[in-house]
Amino acid sequence: MCHYGVMASELRTPSRATLPSFTVTPQRIASELAGHLEQLIMAGTVEPGALLPPERTLASDFKVSRTTVRQALAELESKRLIERRQGRGSTVLGPPAEAQELAAMLASSSQDVRNALELRRIVEPQVARIATMRALPSDLTLLRQVTTQANEHLAPEESMRLDVEFHLLLARATQNPLLPTVMEFSYACTEKVRLLSHQTRERRRTSLDGHLAILAAVTTQDPRAAEAAMAAHLVEVEQISAQVPIEHA
């Protein structure tokens, strides 16, 4: 779940963020750095209104070139996660007003499990299709990291956490801030039933296989395949959910 603080415009004296250490690999350096910074922002480790360290400091801390840092920051800016200004640096942004308004409206809506599953079936194949056309290198890096961490031997809670994270990352890859908001609502509605659906190794493996098929289509930039893979994945999810007593939801 994403956590945001106050908007940047509400902070008169922005603080300079202190970032935890992180080691990037020689391959996909800029996308890995962008993905790392994005995760810090979305998790609330670096709050809206804070200034990221200067480019030279980031380059020194992460042992990369300033060109790599600029490429990473450019990705974050294109996702509207930061605002870069000459002489000021990079300011972390909060969610756009329309996303906040939608979140507030959804919070007061009915949280029926069946409706939430139907919402996923309607929306998520299109999310996968759009993400395929708009995903940036950092999006692909984060999606790969999540699928690498997932396996059928995990505890149900951790398996579900990575499951939700994969789908939210895919929604964020659309570059449409309203879609992650809608997805967060649907996952909140189905949290209990989803946890029960991760109770067995077979079900955890089924979830991961679905994610791998979606990721393969997104990586090869095949929108139709991504849409079809997501639709097939959701059919499997609903079949599993049908085996879970609805009173547990």
One-letter amino acid at 197 equals S
Tell whether the model's pLDDT for residue 159 goes beyond 90: yes
CA angle 157, 216, 164 (to 5 degrees): 20
Domain ranges of the chain: 8-92, 97-248
Task: Count CB neighbours of 46 within 10 A.
Answer: 23
Would you state the CATH architecture of domain 97-248?
A: Up-down Bundle (1.20)
One-letter amino acid at 45 equals T
Would you state the CATH architecture of domain 8-92?
A: Orthogonal Bundle (1.10)
8 Å CB contact between 139 and 215: no
Q: What is the largest CA-CA distance in the chain?
A: 58
Helices marked H in 135-222: 137-149, 156-172, 178-189, 191-196, 201-219
Q: Which pLDDT tens digit goes with each residue over 20-65?
A: 776 665 447 899 999 999 999 988 899 999 999 999 999 999 999 9
At residue 247, the pLDDT reads 46
Q: DSSP label at 81?
A: S
Q: 3-class DSSP state for residue 126?
A: helix
Sign for the pseudo-dihedral over CA of 34, 8, 87, 58: negative
Q: DSSP label at 8?
A: G
| Best mean pLDDT range from 22-36, 93-107, 118-132 | 118-132
Tell whether the model's pLDDT for residue 205 goes beyond 80: yes
